[in-house]
Structure 1
Amino acid sequence: MPHQHKYTNELIHSKSPYLLQHAHNPVNWMEWSHRAFRKAKKENKPILVSIGYS
């Protein structure tokens, strides 16, 4: 039986191994794109940028 995840965000479609690690975080992460900025502007929401960690 496949593992069921409670959350899945748009990163599930990413080709980046780093971003795929966060595809089941309970955060609506989006890849850096014009669409992400348009959505934030339309919804009057701030943009949180994650540049990785070590």
Structure 2
Amino acid sequence: MSNRLKNQSSPYLLQHAENPVDWYPWGDEALAKARTENKLILVSIGYSACHW
């Protein structure tokens, strides 16, 4: 499965680049696809941090 997150600069997004989900980074492409297909948008909000 192609994943659009692999070229992102965010450490959080890169952690999910190999997930078996067709993720889109937030932007015009994701919004246009949802609008065209009349689908809801699932937003994953998180951060990347060191536990130390």
Q: What band does the TM-score fall into relative to the shorter chain?
A: 0.7 to 0.9
TM-score, scaled to structure 1:
0.75
Map 1:20-35 → 2, pairs under 5 A: 20-35=14-29
Q: Which runs of 4+ in 1 moved over 4 A?
A: none
Letter in 2 for 1:18: Y
CA RMSD of aligned residues (A): 1.8
Equivalenced residues, count: 48
Matched, 1:15 2:13: no
Query: Relative contact order, CA 8 A, sep 6+: which one is greater?
Result: 2
Identity %: 60
CA distance in 2: counterparts of 1:32 and 1:25, whole angstroms:
17
- What is the CA distance between 1:35 and its match in structure 2? 1.4
